[in-house]
Chains A and B, each alone.
Chain A
Amino acid sequence: MDGRSAFDEMGAAPGSPAYAAVRAWLDETPADYLQTRRAQAELFFRRIGITFAVYGDAQAAERLIPFDIIPRIISRAEWSLLERGLSQRVAALNAFLKDVYGGREILRAGLIPEELLLHNPQFCLGAVGRRPPYDIYTHVAGIDIVRTGPDTFYVLEDNVRTPSGVSYMLENRDVMMRLLPELFDRHRVAPVETYPELLYATLQSVAPPRCRGEPTVAVLTPGHHNSAYYEHSFLADKMGVELVEGSDLFVREDILYMRTTEGPMRIDVLYRRVDDAFLDPLVFRPDSALGVPGIMSAYATGNLAIANAVGTGIADDKAIYSYMPEIVRFYTGEAPLLENVPTWRCREPEALAYVLAHLNELVVKEVDGSGGYGMLIGPHASRAELDAFADRLKADPARFIAQPTLALSTCPTLVEEGVAPRHVDLRPFVLTGRHGTRIVPGGLTRVALTPGSLVVNSSQGGGTKDTWVLDD
């Protein structure tokens, strides 16, 4: 797949009306000006210290994610469609989670095979029968959207555990406003800067009902070696709450406290950026040094809200993903507004046979994978890689799903040679609190900087762009 056959969002002149002003700007702006601005943007990011650690790369303990200064444009009409589709999908995901850990009506309706749910490693026994406040499980969801045509959007993945990237959405906008004020003169760009406030309000709204007074919120990070540490500290800072590590916390009589210079202080809502498995060594991994012994009993007793709730991983399992159209219909009673990418579940023998026969055309992913690790992109793989992957697939088919290689849309992107089309995706962030769903207009656009590449993950060398929702 390459840029020529993919849908370009700006299009050949005159192209998309939403891109008209950007096109004019690109036409009249000298190439060296763009390169200068790009270099300045990089300098900004390095000075602010917005860095990202890539696992398995000791050299790059602190690496910058490449930033592209050409904004990605979404028209208001397109955004309205996305917004409705995202709200619907996240509502369905929350209802699904409540059901999975509660009455399991979806199993009785026969929509999903029982063993796929109950024997799934992502199914969390510790969450069964424990209702989080207001039955909200995924307070922060990052839904990955790809586009293949003027009106065709697909959901590629639902990230409902601890999705990251929102700090880039905010910092990208900030840097753009500093570097290219002239572009903002020509556009009415919907603001994204309210995100931290909305996040704070969302977190406060889900405090346990028995919490009296103003709820205390804290952000739990695995620490500064974590790849997303910058984002954790950024969000805590913008919300004005403490950024805590496991060692700062303790549980006494089923209440979670942080150690402060004034003595212990109670926490009501914990926005955790630590995976379930590491949360509580008494319940999950006993070797975890990142969590807090007893935190699950504080949660179970109703003294603590955890966002996102424990056990959400089942909803972003990629085999469950393939049932999302049925899940949306089942819980909302509506037809899904956003499409799913057709998915072969390799656990099913016919699907496996098809996938093995067409491996060089497909993308194959681990059901619980994320960040682009451990996936196969058939059209870009060598014979040897395909053979090796086929062996893994045959050894444990239930661990994999396969999808067609989508012709992801492209956007104009500044590269060494000048402005060229590069494939992009979009991760909007959906907040769900006691009073409903909020989505800031925009999201994180990730761009594959290598010509023809479809892999946008920052851990795989992808870059980011500022994403503009324009009022028509």
Chain B
Amino acid sequence: MLSRTAGDLFWTGRYVERADFVSRLMDATLRLAALPSSYGGDIGAWSGALAAAGVAAAYSDRHPDLGERTALQFMSLDPDNPSSMRCCIERARQNARAVRTALTVEVWEAINAAWLDVQRFGTMLESRPALLRLVESVKAAALAFDGATHRTMLRDKSYWFLRLGAALERADNTARLLDVKYHLLLPRDEPVGGSLDYFQWTTILRTVSALTAYHHVYRDSVKPWLVADLLILNRRMPRSLAACMNDAVRYLDLLAQESGRRGPAQRAAVALSSRLAHGDMDAIFAAGLHEYIGDFLTENSRLAASVMSQYQF
């Protein structure tokens, strides 16, 4: 496979995943921001969302004040924000268009339809109902895209590079969300169910579409340390760091089998994954959740860089 093709597939996977994350983040933040301020429903909800999307600095460069409307516009349709939903879909499509031959018709149609759909919203957000339609549309696009890749693509290098990009992006998103909200997840002595932070925790779970999953897994009321466990160590939860690294290891292994060569990318992924597999929440809390997440973000970026250098894109 051409190195350029591998790179374009990797980034297509990343951008679709990022679009999906930003849409869920906005969805969850809208709910949180609509609550009375004593429940966490204040403008802080939006500064948290901007930070979790990794665009807090880009936002403050352009807008001196934090406002809900400006934040909504910035994260949804703003052409100047490379992580706005619109830009993510546009870039995913640009990358996909450059590698049409590596994709099935169904996958291409899914991404092209998403782009045509997002274009209808223009570059200025009209209203809140328009935003909700946009969020739904992007979520549906990511599902259609994943469905089309799963159902129609050959299990070969094209598929693995696409999924590898998605796995690394997904890990990055979950880790950034944790990085912003970590202080809410520290174990504390509080009466169970009595905390006003409940809505913060459920916002986190909603962002990674795991609110229902949480109850299935723990059969317990929402407790912050269990939320952290679910998002970091629980392999059954597809957006957890452990599950994402597990996926990354698998796709990198398949790529290595195909070429008969293992390299720095494979080694880095195995190291990250096994650290998560042997992780223990008590130990993580003891050593510092914030530091743990920060380290993971650094290691994950290094992993992406070594994938790019190993496959020369």
Contacts and interface: CB of A to CB of B under 8 A. Distances in A.
Interface in A355-392: none
Given A47-B113, A48-B105, A245-B4, A261 B312 contact: yes
B100 A237 contact: yes
A237, A247, A258, A261 — most chain B CB neighbours (10 Å): A261
Interface in A397-421: none
Contacts of B290: none
B311 interface: yes
A248 B2 contact: yes
B109 A244 contact: no
Contacts of A242: 1-2, 5, 101
B11 interface: no
A244 B98 CA distance: 10
A262 interface: yes
A261 B259 contact: yes
Interface in B1-49: 1-6
A179 B100 CA distance: 24
Interface in A234-267: 234, 236-237, 242-245, 247-248, 258-262
A261 B1 CA distance: 6
A47 B101 contact: no
A245 B3 CA distance: 11
Contacts of A178: none
A46 interface: yes
A258 B2 contact: yes
Contacts of B214: none
B100 A233 contact: yes
Interface residues of B, number: 21
Interface in B129-163: 157
Nearest to A239: B101
Given A224-B98, A242-B2, A245-B4, A262 B259 contact: yes
Contacts of B105: 48
A49 interface: yes
Given A47-B109, A49-B112, A242-B2, A261 B100 contact: no
Nearest to A244: B2
Contacts of A247: 4
A46 B312 CA distance: 33
Contacts of B74: none
Nearest to B94: A224
B97 A260 contact: no
B153 to A, nearest CB: 13
B2 A260 contact: yes
B213 interface: no
Contacts of B98: 224
Given A247-B4, A248-B2, A259 B312 contact: yes
Interface string A196-234: 000000000000000000000000000010000010011
Interface in A137-154: none
Contacts of B101: 233, 236-237, 242-243
B108 interface: yes
A39 to B, nearest CB: 15
B116 interface: yes
A224 B109 contact: no
Which of A48, A243, A259: most chain B Cβ within 10 A?
A243
Nearest to B109: A47
B45 to A, nearest CB: 37
B117 to A, nearest CB: 11
A421 to B, nearest CB: 34
Nearest to A219: B101
A436 to B, nearest CB: 29
Contacts of B2: 242, 244, 248, 258-261
B207 to A, nearest CB: 31
Given A49-B97, A233-B101, A243-B101, A248 B4 contact: yes
Nearest to B261: A262
B4 A48 contact: no
Contact of A262 (B1, B4, B97, B112): B1
A262 B259 CA distance: 6
Contacts of A260: 1-3
A247 B7 CA distance: 14
B3 A261 contact: yes
A261 B255 CA distance: 10
A260 B259 CA distance: 11
A47 B97 CA distance: 13
Contacts of B157: 261
A248 B4 CA distance: 7
A260 B157 CA distance: 11
A140 B101 CA distance: 21
Contact of A259 (B3, B100, B108): B3
B232 to A, nearest CB: 31
Interface string B100-123: 110001001100110010000000
Nearest to A237: B101
A244 B109 CA distance: 22
A48 B109 contact: yes
Contacts of B116: 46-47
Nearest to B311: A261
Contacts of B312: 259, 261
Given A237-B101, A261-B1, 4 more contacts: A47-B112, A47-B116, A48-B105, A243-B100
Interface of B: 1-6, 97-98, 100-101, 105, 108-109, 112-113, 116, 157, 255, 259, 311-312
The 7 closest A-B pairs by CB, nearest first: A233-B100, A237-B101, A261-B311, A236-B101, A259-B3, A261-B6, A49-B112
7 contacts: A49-B97, A224-B97, A236-B101, A244-B2, A245-B4, A258-B2, A261-B1
